[in-house]
Amino acid sequence: MVGAYARGVEIQPLPHSSPRTAAFFDLDKTVIAKSSTLTFSKSFYHGGLINRRAVLRTAYTQFIYLVGGADHDQMERMREYLSSLCKGWNVQQVREIVAETLHDLIDPLIYDEAASLIEAHHTAGRDVVIVSTSGAEVVEPIGEMLGADRVVATRMVIGEDGCFTGEIGYYAYGPTKAEAVRELAESEGYDLARCYAYSDSVTDIPMLEAVGHPHAVNPDRALRREAVAREWPVLVFNRPVRLKQRLPGLSMPTRPALVAAAAVG
């Protein structure tokens, strides 16, 4: 059976008797054009969570990330920086800031091509899972806005005072993402050989290897080399568009995003 095409990706429909499947999407530079966490830096500044120096540093980090991508060492430095930066932040305040500014900051960054793929996978009967290294307080609302069925994200430890301790309880990165995908497949009954995955980073090769239909999206140099060598499809997303300019069903999802990190972390 010939499947539908969504911006160059052949989406195979599911026979009624086939096992469940899913499409796993990295978030930053795959679904949205920037780092989701760093995008909120000015909002965190206006909320009194960080100072001007931190805003400038995050802007520089965002620039380096966008230009050169992020290898293992860069991701480790970013993890250490962000975990120390958010130590002492009130979690409820963070959630409120994200909720208040989400549509203004994130909506314009969503790639039209990614939104089309999400729509096509749902139409074909697949679950959509966002798998991101960014924090759950940021990723969960974005996943809900996109209409995702599941979310896997990094989780910071929250103290009894309701503030981040600066420690990371679950880090959704590299091999850990692949482990989350496999555990979700086991718990939800996904047939990984028929599942899809999308990412821009070489650090997500373990997640891409876990499925039968891996795709490199706006890949960094290392991932591009691997994708070409393995004959994985390479996609270019370059058209951010607001969801409200698309189908109303995408801008106002009817399904809540479920948090997979709680189950696998």
Q: Catalytic annotation on 28?
A: yes
Q: Catalytic annotation on 26?
A: yes
Distances (CA, A) of 105 to 37, 56, 77, 81, 141: 11, 17, 25, 22, 12
Q: Contact at 8 Å (CB) between 110 and 118?
A: no
Catalytic residue, chosen from 28, 107, 127, 200, is: 28
Q: Which two tokens stand for residue 83?
A: 């975990």
What DSSP state is assigned to residue 163? Answer: B
b/e 25-57 (16+ beta carbons within 10 angstroms → b): bbbbbbbbbbbbbbbbbebbbebebbeeeebeb
Q: Which of 228, 229, 190 is nearest to 212 (CA)?
A: 190
Scanning the chain, the segments in alpha helix (DSSP H) are 36-39, 41-46, 52-68, 72-85, 91-105, 112-123, 136-146, 175-188, 205-209, 221-230, 248-251, 261-264
Active site residues: 26, 28
